[in-house]
Structure 1
Amino acid sequence: MSKDHTDLDDLDLFRQAIKGARPIKVDQADTGKPKTDRARIKAARQLAVQPTNRLKVDGLSDQFVIDVLPEEELAWAANGVQESQLRKLKGGLIPFEGSIDLHGMTVEKARELLWEFLAEANRMEIRCVRVTHGKAQRKDGRNPILKSHVNTWLRQHSKVLGFTSCTPRHGGTGSVYVLLKRTMLEGRDE
């Protein structure tokens, strides 16, 4: 005897709707995206930190890189930089006029672009820039490569007066504000 739809309660309707359904064994959707080739990624990361045979004379040394932690706040000032200036920089009170993002780059490429970026900022008489290096929470437990290199390079650059990690709205510990030396352009007063 078949029940009329008006006589069926919700549970009976549900049972009729799922009749013949089987439970799924895999709880992940197939997005069609190819599987991650972990071996290729590992090899690419190892190549990224290998120096090339090109001799680069830019004043930045990789002989001793200061190892920093992913969430570690960075701060450094050259001799003669006032603490009040560094506090303003750390608080994001000195507006940055340029920004570069080095995420996902090899160490060599990041170094080259950072050098060019700072040279251009110097030519344009820019006072403060932001450098986004990322913080690379690495699965292998090693510390972030680019963050460590940027921390070391900026300390060596002749035009860098100081740098600090950014406020959260500008990248937090994944970016730094960089205070630059400048020669005063004619008519500029500060």
Structure 2
Amino acid sequence: MTLRSQPSPEDLAAFRAAVDGATPLRKPDRVTLEAPKPSPRPRQRELDEAAVLVQLLQAPLAIDDWLDLGGADSFLRSGLPRTLLRDLRRGRWSIQDHLDLHGMNRHEAHAQVSLFVTEALAAGKRCLRIVHGRGHGSPGREGVLRHLVKAWLSRYKDVLAFCHAPPSDGGDGALWVLLKGGGRSR
């Protein structure tokens, strides 16, 4: 097979005979455009921000956080009257749901507390009890969840206040938590 730069006269005559009587196709009157490319997303920044949020929710409290928690005994959202916390301590709100964290590690407990508060808010519940235990089963008998649960709750904007339950309802091993919403009862 040899390559030719120009077709031979016989090839041209054969081609013309084959296409004799054919009508050329019309050129379309439209332009074909590619689909627009999606705008760029700052994926790494989104991943970094998500990692920071997880770290903040799971990190131990700094000394400033302990001071903000009012000695870590109770919590009252800034700007709310102290009578709200006093009423919570006196049991003037009925407990509408409870969560027991016994036997959970910090990651399991964090997931359960997040889910519990979210579901309670969605259901319009106002007052909750979270049993975190006293830490007697923890290494060094130090109540790890006891401190972490308080830190997690203080970071929810819908948590108005919390305090230790009275001895008959769990004492230092449980918290009563007051959420935004609903009316007062009991």
TM-score using structure 1 length: 0.59
2:169 is matched with: 170
Q: Separation in 2 of the partners of 1:135 and 1:74?
A: 13
Verify the 8 A CA contact 1:165 1:175 in the aligned structure 2.
yes
The CA deviation at 1:125 is 0.9
Assess, with a 3 A threshold, how the Cα gap between structure 1 residues 121 and 157 changes in structure 2: closer, same or farther: same
Verify the 8 A CA contact 1:166 1:177 in the aligned structure 2.
yes
Q: CA RMSD in A?
A: 3.1
Q: Separation in 2 of the partners of 1:56 and 1:165?
A: 29
**Which digits, 9 at most, give the CA deviation of each residue in 1:24-81, with x for residues without a partner?**
xxxxxxxxxxxxxxxxxxxxxxxxxxxxxx959579622333699xxx9720100122
TM-score using structure 2 length: 0.60
Q: Separation in 2 of the partners of 1:156 and 1:131?
A: 16
Q: Which runs of 5+ in 2 are unaligned?
A: 1-49
| AA in 2 matched with 1:62 | Q
1:65 is matched with: 61
Count of aligned pairs between the two proteins: 130
Verify the 8 A CA contact 1:166 1:175 in the aligned structure 2.
yes
> Where is the helix percentage greater, Structure 1 or Structure 2?
2
Q: How does 1:76-87 map to 2 (within 5 A)?
A: 76-87=75-86
Q: Separation in 1 of the partners of 2:80 and 2:136?
A: 32
The answer to which structure, 1 or 2, has the higher relative contact order (CA under 8 A, 6+ apart) is 1
Based on CA coordinates, which of the two structures has the bigger radius of gyration? Answer: 2
Q: Which runs of 5+ in 1 are unaligned?
A: 1-53
